[in-house]
Structure 1
Amino acid sequence: MTKVVLISSFLLMGFLAKAQDFQGKAEYFSKRIMKKKTEKVETKSKEPLDPELQKEIEIALKKATEKQYVLTFNKTECLYEEEQKLEEPKGASDGMSISISFSGGGKKYLNVKDKNSIVEDEIFGKEFLIVEPLVQPEWKLIDETKKIGDYNCFKAELVIPVSEKQKKEYEEFLKKEEKKPALFKMEKPEDKVITAWYTPEIPVNFGPDNYWGLPGLILEVSEEKLIILCSKVVLSNKEKTKIKAPNTGEKVSQKKFDEIQKKKTDSMKDEDGVIMFQH
């Protein structure tokens, strides 16, 4: 029988008090799993896309779904950011350039001492800083272990229930669907189950993306469509590098950001719910 326990705030406080004064960096590889399609993309005329264009789309999709990140941390704060790489030189031809991206790719800063988080995001080019108080995740510790690299890791699970925002958006979609079938269908939102593997051998309670709150560094995270794996950890007790919180953009709460985003996207949609861009 699987043994499950909830982490208490007292456990975390005791753990932090014992953590040594050191700094570290962890490198992560993130892969977003897309739905498999058996057919190739077709145009409105049902003709298959040009092979070169099809190839460009596949390359752009791979770049968008496979990312590398760096987590810099000490015992009280951390910064998670995408690893910056030089763009590959473009060819001499005037071929079409295709770019695909997902929201939420900005820097993420957590401070367990001040109990706050700051996340970079943007809405059609306008930068925002989403500032929220930290709320302890209700992780369940599970009596399972495995080795990741040189570290002994333990399993934990977190259930993120469907939010009121998601429920409302789905209800609005269903109402519109009754009047006119939508071009793009919305899946019914469901509770999200997060599985994490953490190591108490690195005594900080941080991890990749927005995941934190376990008694050890999180080295692996998986959910339905996302896998994040740690490939390298470097620890140091020498001179410390200051971890800088993001400071560019308008400061808003998550609720305010969602409201601004919805208002902006709704204003750009046509009658089929497709966002129209004008050049």
Structure 2
Amino acid sequence: MKKLTYIISAYLLLVAFHSNAQHARFVTQGTIAYEKRINAYTLIKDQIKIWGGGDDSFYKAALENYQKNNPQFKISKSTLYFGKETTAFIPTEEAIASTGGWFGDMIEFKQANSILTNVKAGTSKTQKKVYDETYMVSDSTRKINWKITDEFREIAGYNCRRANALVMDSVYVVAFYTEEIAVSGGPESFGGLPGMILGLALPHEHVTWFATSVSDAPVSEDKLKIPTKGKPVNNKQLYDILKSALKSWGKSAHQTFKWAMM
């Protein structure tokens, strides 16, 4: 009887192991489609407050006109190609076209960055567009002090764990990453977690990036590239250039600078 019990137990363990092995995915290359969503109405209201025009009839009229002609959420798409050591983040679709007007050219609505990251070396190259200027920024990757939590959610079919952080001294970040994709990457310049970021939110900036699909099909080398046009700078040089250029922008300078360096 004991022998039969041992056999049954061993069989159940084998079945459980086989089942877990079937469900475990340790992806090291593939393609992720992200959707970026910006709450434009709330973002514009915040910007009006920064300008000091909260009770100004001109701004109220401009906002009402914007709301009549534009959706609340601006949606744009991007693609992340990744291999074992390299990721390439490429904007693939601009936000829904604005009718223009006072708020049509806000930097927050742009998809300004194409980013090539060497995950192993901890370096990145970013083609960054800031209004009419294009820069090619080469530097080390962003260092983020993540705090991993016990909260989980499913994104694009993957079990993801939440992590929180503060970047640029004041920008609160929430990320959901999966260890099933064994590459430390994510949308834009965010990474540094023990797996791939499939969901990212900057709650106080009213913007999110969430994966809508993940493919583990092999990625060719020609996909792991970004455009190289732009004035060559590092992060410190770009910081100095923008600080100098924005010094006469008054109250809107900080917001513009923050998004340009994001």
Query: TM-score by structure 1 length?
Result: 0.62
> Per-residue deviation at 1:136?
4.4
Does the alignment pair 1:28 with 2:40? no
CA distance in 2, matches of 1:69, 1:117: 18
Higher helix share: 2
> Per-residue deviation at 1:43?
2.4
Q: Which runs of 5+ in 1 are unaligned?
A: 1-18, 163-190
Query: Could you say if the C-alpha distance between residues 246 and 141 of structure 1 is closer, same or farther in structure 2, counting changes exceeding 3 Å?
Result: same
* Partner secondary structure for residue 139 of structure 2: strand
**Which residue in 2 is equivalent to 1:83?**
92
Does the alignment pair 1:120 with 2:127? yes
Q: Which runs of 5+ in 2 are unaligned?
A: 1-25, 49-53, 254-262
Does the alignment pair 1:101 with 2:106? yes
CA distance in 1, matches of 2:221, 2:82: 10
Query: TM-score by structure 2 length?
Result: 0.66
**Which residue in 1 is equivalent to 2:175?**
196
**Which residue in 1 is equivalent to 2:16?**
none
**Which residue in 2 is equivalent to 1:259?**
240
Match of 2:65 among 55, 70, 77: 55
- Contact 2:138-2:235 at 8 Å conserved across structures: yes
Query: Could you say if the C-alpha distance between residues 42 and 83 of structure 1 is closer, same or farther in structure 2, counting changes exceeding 3 Å?
Result: farther
* Paired residues for 1:1-279 under 5 Å: 22-32=29-39, 33-34=42-43, 35=45, 42-43=57-58, 49=61, 54-56=64-66, 59=69, 62=72, 65-84=74-93, 99-102=104-107, 105-134=112-141, 136-160=143-167, 162=169, 191-223=170-202, 224-225=204-205, 226-237=207-218, 241-266=222-247, 269=249
Question: What is the root-mean-square deviation in Å for CA atoms of aligned residues?
Answer: 3.7
Query: Could you say if the C-alpha distance between residues 58 and 102 of structure 1 is closer, same or farther in structure 2, counting changes exceeding 3 Å?
Result: farther
CA distance in 2, matches of 1:86, 1:141: 31
CA distance in 1, matches of 2:252, 2:164: 36
Percent of pairs with identical residues: 20
CA distance in 2, matches of 1:97, 1:136: 36
- Contact 2:27-2:216 at 8 Å conserved across structures: no
Residues 205-256 of structure 1: CA deviation (Å, up to 9, x unaligned): 1111211111222111122222222211122037554311331111111121
* Partner secondary structure for residue 262 of structure 1: helix
Residues 180-200 of structure 1: CA deviation (Å, up to 9, x unaligned): xxxxxxxxxxx3332211111
- Aligned pair count reads 216
What amino acid maps onto 1:145 in structure 2?
Answer: F
* Partner secondary structure for residue 113 of structure 2: coil
CA distance in 1, matches of 2:163, 2:96: 37
